[in-house]
Amino acid sequence: MTRKIIIDCDPGHDDVMAILLALAHPEELEILGYTTVCGNQLVEKVTANLAKVLTAIGKSGKIAMGCDTPLHYAPDPQPGAHGESGLDGPILPEATVKVLDKHAIEFMRDVLENSDKKITIVALGPLTNIAVFLKTYPHLRSKIECITLMGGSIYSGNILPKAEFNIYEDPHAAKIVFESSIPIIMSGLEVCNEASILHTEIDALQGNGKVQDLAHDILQFFSKYNRDRNKDRSPLFDVVPIMHLLHPEYFTSQKFPVHIEVAGEYTRGMTVVDLREPRDPNTLNAEVLTHCDRDKFMKVFLDALIQLDKN
Ligand code: RIB
Ligand code: CA
């Protein structure tokens, strides 16, 4: 059965990899549209990046630009990880794919109001758009199948010792989402670190087709951080929620109570995953992915790039 999805994202190198995987599986995932959010870079930049990438691979798509700032904190773009453009590395064409003259929140409203089936929201950036949507159109919450998101962690951190960037950027939005009672699937740093691509797998992409060359150029820039630290692999963070939709059998998961720390010099954006037992079933607000089979994961991902080059 085909699942209808909206991809909320901040492209972002790994966001693009997730979108490529989804585009290679139209039978399983029907992408109703893309909403963009301030995160890796300012929302104008990440929106332009998405339009250029779809143009580069010859795909169309509905793009609606979203919130340009977190609910309470200032934007905190990450040029160190994604460059000044938010997608440094590849040479991208001028976009011919147009951005809708409609805010992401209104686009989400229109899609959910007009759908006869529930929609899955795939959140690959800060949760600002989704929080504003839930607050603005609470009657449409029942049209959401689930929110599967890349964000948070069980015990580690990247932007802070115990906080992951997407949650850190807008913890107030994350709190709204995690307390919404909508089913949440959380792909945190631990499972994302297991879903890492070998730098030799990146190098082998070059010269095999337009899409694989684009992925190569994007991942060469994205993996520099880890290559410079003598690591042999880089996490494909945002690919994880999409891969889980396609192959849940590649993962293990467990439901936990998950609370969001909205402020704190060292803990802003921490996902407090309560591991204590016994647990009250009424408090289990998130299914947390814990492990994945990296080799099966990576084969499907690399095959997806090959498939897109065949199309
Ligand atoms: O912490 C990783 C997340 O932050 C990913 O979504 C990446 O794209 C960045 O947004
Ligand atoms: Ca992202």
Instruction: Give me the pLDDT at residue 1, please.
Output: 87
Q: 277 alpha carbon to ligand 1 midpoint, in Å?
A: 30
- Phi (first) and psi of residue 160, to 5 degrees: -135, 165
What are 52's two structure tokens? 């250029």
> If you measure from the C-alpha of residue 8 to the centroid of ligand 1, how many angstroms do you get, rounded to a whole number?
12
Contact (CB, 8 A) for 164 and 189: yes
What sign has the CA pseudo-torsion 140, 144, 148, 152? Answer: positive
Residue 249: predicted pLDDT: 98
The amino acid present at 115, given as its one-letter code, is S
The C-alpha angle 203, 206, 207, rounded to 5 degrees, equals: 150
Span from the CA of 295 to the centroid of ligand 1 (angstroms): 22
Nearest CA to 13 among 92, 101, 122? 92
User: Given its phi and psi angles, is residue 132 left (phi above 0), alpha (psi -120 to 50 degrees) or beta?
Assistant: alpha
pTM of the model: 0.98
For ligand 1, atom 1, name the residue with the nearest CA: 165
Q: What is the pLDDT of residue 18?
A: 99
Q: Does any ligand 1 atom lie closer than 6 A to the CB of residue 9?
A: no
Task: Give, for ligand 1, the residue of 190, 237, 240 to mutate: max count of ligand atoms closer than 8 Å to Cβ.
Answer: 237
pLDDT of residue 6: 98
CA neighbor of 15 nearest in space, from 305, 236, 221? 236
Tell me how far apart the terminal alpha carbons of the chain are, to the nearest angstrom.
22
CA 300 to chain centre: 18
Report the sign of the C-alpha dihedral through residues 42, 197, 300, 118, in that order: negative
Residue 149, strand partner residues: 123, 186
Instruction: Please report which residue ranges of the chain form alpha helices under DSSP H.
Output: 13-23, 43-56, 79-82, 104-114, 128-136, 165-169, 171-178, 189-194, 199-203, 210-222, 224-227, 239-246, 294-310
**pLDDT means over runs of 10, the chain (311 residues):** 97 98 98 98 98 98 98 96 96 98 98 97 99 98 98 98 98 98 98 98 98 98 97 98 98 98 96 96 98 98 98 86
Ligand nearest to the CA of 187: 1
CA 199 to CA 194: how far, in whole Å? 14
Fill in the DSSP letter of residue 283: G
Asked if 68 contacts 42 with a C-beta cutoff of 8 angstroms, the reply is: yes
Residue 195 CA to ligand 1 centre (angstroms): 14
CA distances for 305 relative to 25, 110, 194, 195, 202, angstroms: 11, 31, 20, 16, 12
Tell me the per-residue pLDDT of 19-33, one tens digit each, with 9 for 90 and over: 999 999 999 999 999
164 within ligand 1 shell (Cβ under 6 A): yes
Q: What gap in Å lies between CA 177 and CA 128, rounded to an integer?
A: 9
Neighbours of ion ligand 2 (CB under 5 A): 10, 12, 15, 124-125, 238
Which among 175, 195, 185 has a CA at the least distance from the CA of 237? 195
pLDDT of amino acid 311? 86
CA of 242 to the centre of ligand 1 (A): 14
User: Is the minimum distance from the CB of 8 to ligand 1 under 6 angstroms?
Assistant: no
pLDDT of residue 152: 98
Contact status, residue 174 vs residue 269, Cβ threshold 8 Å: yes
